[in-house]
Amino acid sequence: MISIQRLEEILKKFNKIKIAVIGDMMLDEYLIGKVNRISPEAPVPVVNIEEERFVLGGASNVANNLKSLEGQVRVYGVIGEDDNGKKFTSELEAKGIESDGIVVDDSRPTIIKSRVLSQGQQLLRLDWEKDTNISKEIQEALIKKVERDIDEIDAILLSDYNKGVLTKYVSESIIKIAKEHNKKIVVDPKPHNFKNYVGVTTMTPNRKEILDYFGLNKFNSEEEVANAMKQLKKDLQLDCVVLTRSEEGFSLYDGNYERVPTVAREVFDVTGAGDTFISTLLLSLSAGASLYEAGVIANMASGIVVAKIGTATATKEEILEFYHNELK
């Protein structure tokens, strides 16, 4: 286990690290109210809305996690020329996240996911999105923005929600830029896009995603998990692989295999836990943590957010409190 002194040493460096988050930007809307009756028009609950709030989602939730941990963040992605796009940039500004890497595309809507909740339960989700690949012109504009800023960036995080921003061309171009400038680059991938990310530092698939990549239904042993991670590292020429395993913790493969269990905690909502994990992992690696240390810190941060309702983030103070209360 990591010592408290080492944990504090790593966390203390977070505010000096500059991370570029590139991927599918979204806005999460929460409509919260009470249900007192069933509609006379159809057998559905009538929700009397009492609160409406907007939260950064998708790749921008990754940025929000980094900011919550006091990292310096720039975002690169695509939004529409619409009211939701204005709400999105307002949310970035409110969080102090640099947004001049955002490209506006008048042919696409800003992605928004609206969730209707009552008494802590999600009743319905509505999505507005277009998930076809962004145009070649928009791809080039995005890559140029990353090239422009690369000397001011310490590391790159690719957040792939398969909504058309991280095309093969965009991904490979950014990986090339990162390698030319000796920058760490990590990715949270979707299974059928894995091969877009040959040569990144590491990726953080979950159990379902790595199973889908290999066309498997389940793992029957830890040996099978280790072999899959070893093969993925070889296939994609990665430095290492980090497999997130929900309530089972996570596994690491960097030539050696190691499984690290999670700390038992009540889970209220797993929304965004993967975003929290990869954000904390990259900040920790950039702060000089070993892969094992970074994984342990990321695991603690994920344990914090799953105990919260909705898209949530963790703070350095919460990680320290979690360490003292749950792990000591």
Catalytic residues, by residue number, are 275
CB 109 within 8 A of CB 22: no
d(CA 180, CA 157): 16
Strands 250-253 and 240-244: antiparallel
Paired strand residues for 104: 79
Identify how many contiguous H helices and E strands the chain contains and give both numbers: 10, 13
d(CA 301, CA 318): 8
d(CA 102, CA 75): 7
Residue with tokens 């943590």: 289
* HSE-CB of 84 using CA atoms within 13 angstroms: 24
Q: What is the DSSP letter of 311?
A: S
Paired strand residues for 33: 49, 118
Paired strand residues for 105: 80
The residue type found at 261 is: P
